[in-house]
Amino acid sequence: MKINVNFDIDAVLGRMEAINRQYPEGTAEDEALRICAAALLFVRDELGKVSEFREFWRKINTPAIDGIKISRTFETRAEADAWVAGGAAKDGDLVRVEGQGFMVIDHGKQEGLKLVRIPLPEELPPWKSK
């Protein structure tokens, strides 16, 4: 499901109010909706942190696979090793080498940065439900 990270708080509050009319005052549903509405108002009016809340909303609703970013793609392992040796790589960079995933890992002062094999999402078998 695609989420709207630029949601309109007033529109959300309006929908919550409409939904809340379906529940009698004092019910657990009424209380929960009022608390959620108050939280949105607090973020908007008291804290002034709507953009931070939108970013939080995006983070908790983005599938983990969408957060995986490939830094570079190399045709050969030799090219990738030269890139690492050249000083452009950073610890944690994820790269594709000959269609396979590798992560740049800092092995300390003596060994420095190295490529470590880590499968990319497309290399993993499809998830199967039971």
Asked if 81 and 118 sit in the same domain, the reply is: yes
Asked if 33 and 80 sit in the same domain, the reply is: no
Q: Is the confidence at residue 37, as pLDDT, over 70?
A: yes
Predicted pLDDT of residue 127: 60
Give me the chain's average pLDDT, please: 90
Predicted pLDDT of residue 28: 96
Q: Is 55 domain-assigned?
A: yes
Share of the chain above pLDDT 90, in %: 68
Predicted pLDDT of residue 99: 92
Predicted pLDDT of residue 66: 67
Enter the pTM of the model: 0.51
Q: Is 129 domain-assigned?
A: no
In the sheet where 100-106 sits, what is the strand order?
72-74, 94-97, 100-106, 113-117
Count of domains observed in the chain: 2
Q: Is 1 domain-assigned?
A: no
Contact 97, 83 (CB under 8 A): no
DSSP H/E element including 96? strand 94-97
